[in-house]
Protein backbone atom coordinates (compact mmCIF):
# COMPACT_ATOMS: atom_id res chain seq x y z
CA UNK A 1 0.00 0.00 0.00
CA UNK A 2 1.51 3.29 -1.07
CA UNK A 3 1.13 6.47 0.93
CA UNK A 4 -0.28 9.52 -0.83
CA UNK A 5 2.17 12.37 -1.25
CA UNK A 6 1.34 16.03 -0.99
CA UNK A 7 2.43 18.37 -3.77
CA UNK A 8 5.33 19.75 -1.73
CA UNK A 9 6.53 16.22 -0.86
CA UNK A 10 6.43 15.22 -4.50
CA UNK A 11 8.32 18.36 -5.50
CA UNK A 12 10.92 17.85 -2.75
CA UNK A 13 11.54 14.24 -3.78
CA UNK A 14 11.87 15.16 -7.45
CA UNK A 15 14.25 18.03 -6.64
CA UNK A 16 16.34 15.72 -4.44
CA UNK A 17 16.52 13.13 -7.24
CA UNK A 18 17.60 15.85 -9.67
CA UNK A 19 20.29 17.03 -7.25
CA UNK A 20 21.63 13.49 -6.82
CA UNK A 21 21.64 12.99 -10.58
CA UNK A 22 23.27 16.38 -11.20
CA UNK A 23 26.11 15.73 -8.76
CA UNK A 24 26.97 12.40 -10.37
CA UNK A 25 26.45 13.84 -13.87
CA UNK A 26 28.97 16.59 -13.12
CA UNK A 27 31.42 14.04 -11.74
CA UNK A 28 31.16 11.77 -14.76
CA UNK A 29 31.34 14.73 -17.15
CA UNK A 30 34.71 15.74 -15.70
CA UNK A 31 35.89 12.16 -16.08
CA UNK A 32 34.85 11.99 -19.74
CA UNK A 33 36.40 15.40 -20.46
CA UNK A 34 39.81 14.17 -19.28
CA UNK A 35 39.95 10.51 -18.33
CA UNK A 36 43.76 10.77 -18.14
CA UNK A 37 43.58 13.43 -15.44
CA UNK A 38 41.10 11.31 -13.49
CA UNK A 39 43.39 8.30 -13.77
CA UNK A 40 46.33 10.42 -12.60
CA UNK A 41 44.33 11.61 -9.57
CA UNK A 42 43.45 8.01 -8.73
CA UNK A 43 47.10 6.94 -9.13
CA UNK A 44 48.23 9.82 -6.91
CA UNK A 45 45.98 8.43 -4.17
CA UNK A 46 47.95 5.19 -4.39
CA UNK A 47 45.57 2.97 -6.32
CA UNK A 48 46.86 0.57 -8.98
CA UNK A 49 45.18 0.19 -12.40
CA UNK A 50 44.14 3.82 -12.31
CA UNK A 51 42.90 3.95 -15.92
CA UNK A 52 40.66 0.92 -15.36
CA UNK A 53 39.39 2.36 -12.07
CA UNK A 54 38.65 5.70 -13.75
CA UNK A 55 36.51 3.94 -16.36
CA UNK A 56 34.78 1.83 -13.70
CA UNK A 57 33.96 4.99 -11.74
CA UNK A 58 32.60 6.67 -14.87
CA UNK A 59 30.38 3.69 -15.71
CA UNK A 60 29.10 3.52 -12.13
CA UNK A 61 28.33 7.24 -12.14
CA UNK A 62 26.42 6.99 -15.44
CA UNK A 63 24.34 4.15 -13.98
CA UNK A 64 23.65 6.20 -10.85
CA UNK A 65 22.51 9.16 -12.95
CA UNK A 66 20.10 6.90 -14.84
CA UNK A 67 18.77 5.37 -11.62
CA UNK A 68 18.21 8.74 -9.96
CA UNK A 69 16.53 10.24 -13.00
CA UNK A 70 14.24 7.28 -13.69
CA UNK A 71 13.70 5.92 -10.21
CA UNK A 72 14.60 2.42 -11.45
CA UNK A 73 16.54 0.36 -8.89
CA UNK A 74 16.40 3.49 -6.77
CA UNK A 75 16.98 2.04 -3.30
CA UNK A 76 19.92 -0.18 -4.28
CA UNK A 77 21.37 2.67 -6.34
CA UNK A 78 21.14 5.06 -3.39
CA UNK A 79 22.87 2.52 -1.13
CA UNK A 80 25.61 1.87 -3.69
CA UNK A 81 26.03 5.63 -4.13
CA UNK A 82 26.34 6.09 -0.35
CA UNK A 83 29.03 3.42 -0.09
CA UNK A 84 30.84 4.93 -3.08
CA UNK A 85 30.73 8.43 -1.58
CA UNK A 86 32.06 7.15 1.77
CA UNK A 87 34.87 5.36 -0.08
CA UNK A 88 35.70 8.56 -1.99
CA UNK A 89 35.68 10.61 1.20
CA UNK A 90 38.16 8.36 2.96
CA UNK A 91 40.32 7.68 -0.11
CA UNK A 92 40.71 11.21 -1.39
CA UNK A 93 39.92 13.47 1.59
CA UNK A 94 40.49 11.27 4.66
CA UNK A 95 42.68 11.79 7.71
CA UNK A 96 45.94 11.27 5.81
CA UNK A 97 45.13 14.41 3.77
CA UNK A 98 44.29 16.75 6.66
CA UNK A 99 47.85 17.61 7.66
CA UNK A 100 48.77 19.04 4.28
CA UNK A 101 45.55 21.00 3.77
CA UNK A 102 43.00 21.68 6.50
CA UNK A 103 40.32 22.29 3.87
CA UNK A 104 40.43 18.55 3.18
CA UNK A 105 38.70 17.97 6.52
CA UNK A 106 35.78 20.07 5.29
CA UNK A 107 35.64 18.11 2.02
CA UNK A 108 35.71 14.90 4.07
CA UNK A 109 32.81 15.99 6.29
CA UNK A 110 30.77 17.14 3.28
CA UNK A 111 30.76 13.57 2.00
CA UNK A 112 28.86 12.48 5.10
CA UNK A 113 26.09 15.03 4.64
CA UNK A 114 25.65 13.71 1.10
CA UNK A 115 25.66 10.13 2.42
CA UNK A 116 22.95 11.04 4.94
CA UNK A 117 20.75 12.26 2.10
CA UNK A 118 21.42 9.12 0.07
CA UNK A 119 20.50 6.86 3.00
CA UNK A 120 17.33 8.88 3.61
CA UNK A 121 16.47 8.52 -0.08
CA UNK A 122 17.18 4.78 0.03
CA UNK A 123 14.72 4.35 2.90
CA UNK A 124 11.95 6.50 1.40
CA UNK A 125 12.33 5.60 -2.27
CA UNK A 126 11.91 7.59 -5.47
CA UNK A 127 8.43 8.88 -4.75
CA UNK A 128 5.25 8.18 -6.63
CA UNK A 129 5.76 10.52 -9.58
CA UNK A 130 8.12 10.02 -12.52
CA UNK A 131 9.50 6.81 -11.06
CA UNK A 132 9.98 3.56 -12.92
CA UNK A 133 8.89 0.76 -10.64
CA UNK A 134 11.85 -1.53 -11.18
CA UNK A 135 13.85 -3.16 -8.46
CA UNK A 136 15.67 -6.32 -7.55
CA UNK A 137 13.82 -9.52 -8.50
CA UNK A 138 11.80 -10.73 -5.55
CA UNK A 139 12.25 -7.43 -3.74
CA UNK A 140 9.61 -5.02 -2.62
| Whether the Cβ atoms of residue 68 and residue 16 lie closer than 8 Å to each other | no
* Rounded CA separation 93/79 (Å): 20
Handedness of CA 58, 62, 67, 73 (dihedral sign): negative
HSE-up (13 A, CA, CB side) for residue 69: 11
* Rounded CA separation 68/118 (Å): 11
What confidence tens digit (pLDDT) does each residue in 37-49 have? 999 999 999 999 9
* Statement: the pTM of the whole predicted model exceeds 0.85: yes
What confidence tens digit (pLDDT) does each residue in 43-90 have? 999 999 999 999 999 999 999 999 999 999 999 999 999 999 999 999
Amino acid sequence: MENAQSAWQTAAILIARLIFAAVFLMAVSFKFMDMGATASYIAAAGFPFSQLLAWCAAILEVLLVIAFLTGAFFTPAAIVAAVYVIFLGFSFHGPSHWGGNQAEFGFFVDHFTFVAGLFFAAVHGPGSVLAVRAGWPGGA
